[in-house]
Amino acid sequence: MLEYTGLRRDRRRFLALTGLTLREFHSLLSAFGEAYQRRYASDRTLAGRKRKRRIGGGRRGKLVTAEQKLLFSVVYQKTYPRQIVMGELFGLSQSGTNQWIPRLLPVLRDALTTLGGMPEGIGGRFARTERRHQEPQDYIIDGTERRRQRPKKPEKQGLYSSGKKKAHSDKNVIVVNTQSKGVGYLSPTYAGKTHDQKVADRERMAYPRQAILHKETGFQGYEPKVQQTHQPKKSRAVTP
């Protein structure tokens, strides 16, 4: 079972499972704990009723400490396993995992928002948001895909089928600052078959005018109002 007390001793494994260094995890932990207290008062039950006994009474749960709750949240976000797998990792039943995921992810979002770590989610606001950060306006835009369960309806199967991944997937477009490595923009989720450029066009992305934008072949012909765009050229095969 994954436990924070043991996992923190192996920094490489910790980074691989969470996507965070220990220092980054601890920086997030304080905001996460405060966000949890704001959402879920200690004198109330999960159902929102006033407690009839002290905290700690009854059977001891698996996600008791703030460290374990945050670990659960970031591992789920980083690896995105099925709920039955997530349950095995943290000693929970599938139904227990199903209850904890929607309970903790909003807390993680609140904590990241407090720390200024949440990417912009509205394309038209991206330029305005970036002007506050005082960072070099050099970006990379790309489409990302993650696997999802095969839809039951035949019409949806074709929509979510990704030839690139040879599986069914969801797609997002992200914009990353090349200097800070931070994700500045994260688009809404689209079906995996949707073309990268079509997502960017639909979201009506607004960039800082002095921005330099690097793009790959999925954005061929995509020329937003920026100072300059760069697209790598494919190397030609040399015929012997």
In the listed set 65, 89, 114, which residue is the last one of a domain according to the structure? 114
In the listed set 114, 148, 172, which residue is the last one of a domain according to the structure? 114
Q: What is the pLDDT of residue 217?
A: 83
Q: What is the pLDDT of residue 82?
A: 87
Residue 212 lies in a domain: yes
Sign of CA dihedral 161, 184, 180, 135: positive
Same domain, 15 and 70: yes
Same domain, 100 and 140: no
Same domain, 132 and 47: no
Q: What is the pLDDT of residue 32?
A: 95
Residue 235 lies in a domain: no
Decide: helix, strand or coil at residue 175: strand
Same domain, 162 and 225: yes
Residue 59 lies in a domain: yes
Same domain, 158 and 197: yes
Same domain, 131 and 60: no
- For residue range 205-217, what is the model confidence (pLDDT) as tens digits? 999 999 999 998 8
Q: What is the pTM of this model?
A: 0.70
Q: Which domain holds residue 226?
A: 123-230
Same domain, 151 and 172: yes
In the listed set 91, 114, 137, which residue is the last one of a domain according to the structure? 114
Same domain, 99 and 169: no
Same domain, 34 and 135: no
Residue 238 lies in a domain: no
Residue 189 lies in a domain: yes
Same domain, 85 and 136: no
Residue 145 lies in a domain: yes
Same domain, 25 and 93: yes
Our count of domains for the chain comes to 2
Residue 19 lies in a domain: yes
The answer for residues whose C-beta is within 8 angstroms of residue 162's C-beta and 6 or more apart is: 145, 168, 169, 171, 192, 193
> Residue 117: which H helix or E strand, with range?
none
- Measured CA to CA in angstroms, residue 171 lies from 9, 151, 164, 188, 199 at distances of 35, 15, 12, 8, 9
Q: What is the pLDDT of residue 135?
A: 82
Q: What is the pLDDT of residue 176?
A: 93
- The parts of the chain modelled with pLDDT lower than 70 are 43-48, 51-60, 163-165, 234-240
- Per DSSP, the chain holds a count of helices (H) and strands (E) of 9, 7
Same domain, 81 and 50: yes
The answer for residues whose C-beta is within 8 angstroms of residue 167's C-beta and 6 or more apart is: 147, 161
